Amino acid sequence: MTDYARAERRQLADLLLEVGPEVPTVCAGWTTRDLAAHLVVRERRPDAALGVLLPALAAHGERIRLAKAAQPYPEIVQEIRNPPWWSPVSNPLVDSLTNTVEYFIHHEDVRRGTPGFTRRSLAAEEQLVIWRTTRLTARLGLRKLGFPVLIEAPGVGSVRSGDGEPRVTVVGEPGELALFVSGRQRVAEVRLTGEPDAIERLTTVTLGR
């Protein structure tokens, strides 16, 4: 089985060097330098990474990320390429679980940050790996909407968030659905059907990370 977490990490590092530090990404307000710094801090500074979950630590985490972003860009990318063995999110025991979708999404954040990107064709096995995480993310993350949503990956599976008849159905490949439920609705290539007001809410609400 291919180690997709490592493959996505390697491809993202290559792309970051190829495009340079000042290219816009899908993450609003972040250039490639900002995104690269975020990934390094996430893996090497657990105290800063907690700011994503604990608002009280958000300012602390942002200071650390900005300090990292000020360092030479090639060095930041090299740290992405070679994660520490002790990291709580990238050590060998958890790397595949915690980083396959993480690095797939951030790889696409760079690729889709400017118009005219070419959609990648992912291996069926990688789509399955992405789906295992995405179905849980969808079930939990879409609850904030307050109405049921059905997520479908044809030939792979489906998952429902909320009870009752779905007001919106979102159909796409697992990779595209991963982007959609993580807050990248505007760049995810999916098909939506259902009630217009519910679709409007789903496509504009802040989701995921």
Listed by start position, the domains of the chain span 4-111, 124-204
Containing 170, the helix (H) or strand (E) segment is strand 168-171
The token duo for 141 is 């993350």
**Overall CATH class of domain 124-204:** alpha beta
- The per-residue pLDDT for 53 is 66
Q: How many CB atoms lie within 10 A of CB 85?
A: 9
**Contact present, 204 and 186 (Cβ < 8 Å):** no
pLDDT digits (tens, 9 = 90+) for 79-133: 999 999 999 999 999 999 999 999 999 999 999 998 888 889 999 999 999 999 9
Is residue 208's pLDDT more than 90? no
Q: Determine the Cα–Cα distance for residues 91 and 174; give it in Å rounded to an integer.
A: 25
pLDDT digits (tens, 9 = 90+) for 132-158: 999 999 998 899 899 999 999 999 999
Q: How far is CA 188 from CA 47, 103, 106, in A?
A: 31, 16, 13
